[in-house]
Amino acid sequence: MVKKLYKRIKVSFNALVYLKSKKVFCIGKNKTFTPALSKLFNEMGLTVGPQRPAELLAKECAENDFKRIIKYVKYRGKAFLDVPFNFTNTFKILDKEFPDSKFILTISDSPEVWYETNTSYHSKLFGDGGLPTKSDLQKAAYVYPGWMWEMNRLIYMTPEEDIYNKPILMRQYNDYNNSVIEYFENKPGKLLVVNLKDKDALLRIRDFLKSN
């Protein structure tokens, strides 16, 4: 009984701390080397929200239903990465809900580098070395069977016969990054744009997060 009570008090205290603390969102496109950020956040004592529960809310976010992702952010950590935080409307809503939060836009050397990195990763995981097909993504067991296909439709919106269309995806990459920069243009100190391949990238991120 005492142990259970202590656990409940501890959980309530942690929730209160999270509610009052600043949040950090990495909103760069997937495959912009974000695992390095997760490691840095942990070193800085920033609890990284578990990715799978957030991914399960991706479809809701894409449909502009943000109730559960807001609740998740309040209680599950201080730093968050990738899907669904890098959905256009999601990061805007979270900025309004958590006005003291900070955002990191991770970028690649170029749209083409991002495209090659992203498609190579998908090919290895879901396409047996080649670009995955619609059928491959529908059968992929990541998160749950069919989730990868759902995300492909929600994020890429490419022709079903050419789901990794290079010009379309590179244009989307550019448009998304530009939309983030434009959104934060009049919000000084809220956004850091960084290429994690730069030698001073992690130092810049540390300084950015420590600043008011």
Instruction: Tell me the HSE value of 212 on the side-chain side, using a 13 A CA sphere.
Output: 0
72, two tokens: 């998740």
Q: What is the largest CA-CA distance in the chain?
A: 61
pLDDT tens figures, 89-137 = 999 999 999 999 999 999 999 999 999 999 999 999 999 999 999 999 9
Structure tokens at 39: 């490691």
3-state SS string for the chain: CHHHHHHHHHHHHHHHHHHHCCCEEECCCCCCCCHHHHHHHHHCCCCECCHHHHHCCHHHHHCCCCHHHHHHHHHHCCEEECCCCCCHHHHHHHHHHCCCCEEEEECCCCHHHHHHHHHHHHHHHHCCCCCCCHHHHHHCCCCCCCHHHHHHHHHHCCCCCCCCCHHHHHHHHHHHHHHHHHHCCCCCCCEEEECCCCCCHHHHHHHHHHCC
Closest CA to 194 of 185, 182, 206, 204: 204
User: pLDDT grade, residue 188 (50/70/90)?
Assistant: very high
Q: In angstroms, rounded to a whole number, what is the distance separating the alpha carbons of residues 173 and 103?
A: 17
pTM for the whole thing?
A: 0.87
Angle at 31 between CA 26 and CA 35, to 5 degrees: 60
Q: What is the pLDDT of residues 134-186, one digit of tens each?
A: 999 999 999 999 999 999 999 998 999 999 999 999 999 999 999 999 999 99
pLDDT of residue 212: 67
Q: What is the pLDDT of residue 21?
A: 56
Query: What are the pLDDT digits (tens) for 37-52?
Result: 888 899 889 999 999 9
- Per-residue pLDDT of 125-135, as tens digits, reads 999 999 999 99
